[in-house]
Amino acid sequence: MNTLRYIIQPVSAELEQVERNLSVQISRIADGHAVTNTYSRLADRVVGHLFKTHGKRLRPLLFLLSARSAGVGSLKGTDALIQVGTSVELIHSASLIHDDVIDEATFRRDRVSVNERYGNKIAVLAGDILYTQFYSLVSTLADLPAEVRLRLLELFTTVTRRMCFGEIYEERMRRQRKPPEFEDYLDTIDNKTASLMAVCCEAGGVVAGAPEETVETLRLYGYHLGMAYQLLDDLDDGDAVYPDNSRIGESAARHVRSAMETAAELPENEATTRLRAIVDAVGGARIPLAASQTA
Ligand code: FPP
Ligand code: MG
């Protein structure tokens, strides 16, 4: 089994449901609004454009795995998990559409971007529609207690603001003539990328009704994964804002080695066997690259 399938396996059924629900939500986006208006067909097409190609669905996956690891308990048999999993993908999609406007990107997921196809003005509005769909979904979730719904709304509102801050910092860094300080770069990717992954994991714990200590552990996991994800994304893209490749390569190699050593020392059980397989697959693929950069 490839590594990704291995990671997805515990929640693969839920992830498929999220996928189906995304299509339903996108097709319903104009419900109750101007359905008789001939322009609404254009609105549907614009909002659906990004979904014509498949994303990784990493944020719903993080949410579902976190909820599962925290014990979904009373949520079993309800559609709350699927609806929240769907809505985190809606926020992420909105942010990508806006990001492509900011970056003046012409392609996304090997397809022409929304801004390139329909122009910046319509792209910004399509992102806004997707973003508000998140609130419609979460605020009407009857299966979740009101206080959980409110907490989710608060978490995702705050994180959207942080993502906007991250994008503003990045824009400032790009306009400077010198490369950014490493700490400023890390702060930027924390806000723009890691914060959302952290909240997806945190939300999994919250929805599952996990103790606060577990919720915090899940949040930290999402944060570290998000930081690593954006570092690698920038490294692979050869991103211009990237401050110092060799320093990052060195530090990444150290972390991968330490993760492999820690995983090797854990007690034997089914969970650690899975964990080791994942750490070895990821570390094994990355460590020669990182090690060669330290030489
Ligand atoms: C991709 O970065 C972009 C992000 C991780 C966040 C973008 C966030 C916003 C535009 C603000 C959020 C706004 C709303 C309404 C939710 P990248 O350019 O490094 O990655 P890429 O290579 O995928 O473009
Ligand atoms: Mg971009």
Band of pLDDT at residue 78, cut at 50, 70 and 90: confident
Q: Mean per-residue pLDDT for 90-111?
A: 95
pLDDT attached to residue 290: 41
Band of pLDDT at residue 295, cut at 50, 70 and 90: very low
Q: State in Å: Cα 72 to ligand 2 middle.
A: 34
Q: State in Å: Cα 188 to ligand 1 middle.
A: 11
Q: Which ligand is nearest to the CA of 241?
A: 1
Does 282 have pLDDT greater than 80?
no
DSSP assignment string, the chain = --HHHHHHGGGHHHHHHHHHHHHHHHHTTTTTSSTT-TTHHHHHHHHHHGGGS----HHHHHHHHHHHHH--GGGTTSSHHHHHHHHHHHHHHHHHHHHHHHHT-SEETTEE-HHHHH-HHHHHHHHHHHHHHHHHHHHT-TTS-HHHHHHHHHHHHHHHHHHHHHHHHHHHHHHSSSPPPHHHHHHHHIIIIIHHHHHHHHHHHHHTT--HHHHHHHHHHHHHHHHHHHHHHHHHHT-TT---HHHHHHHHHHHHHHHHHHHHHSPPSHHHHHHHHHHHHHHHHHHHHHHHHH-
* Protein residue closest via CA to atom 11 of ligand 1: 164
Could you say which architecture CATH assigns to the domain 4-292? Orthogonal Bundle (1.10)
Domain boundaries, the chain: 4-292
Q: Which ligand is nearest to the CA of 50?
A: 1
Band of pLDDT at residue 7, cut at 50, 70 and 90: confident
Q: Which ligand is nearest to the CA of 167?
A: 1
Q: Which of 59, 163, 197, 227 should be mutated for ligand 1, with most atoms under 8 A from CB?
A: 163
Does 3 have pLDDT greater than 80?
no
76 or 15, which is more confident: 15
Pocket-forming residues, ligand 1, beta carbon under 6 Å:
91, 94-95, 98-99, 102-103, 127, 131, 160, 163-164, 167, 192-193, 237
Which ligand 1 atom is at minimum distance from the Cα of 196?
5
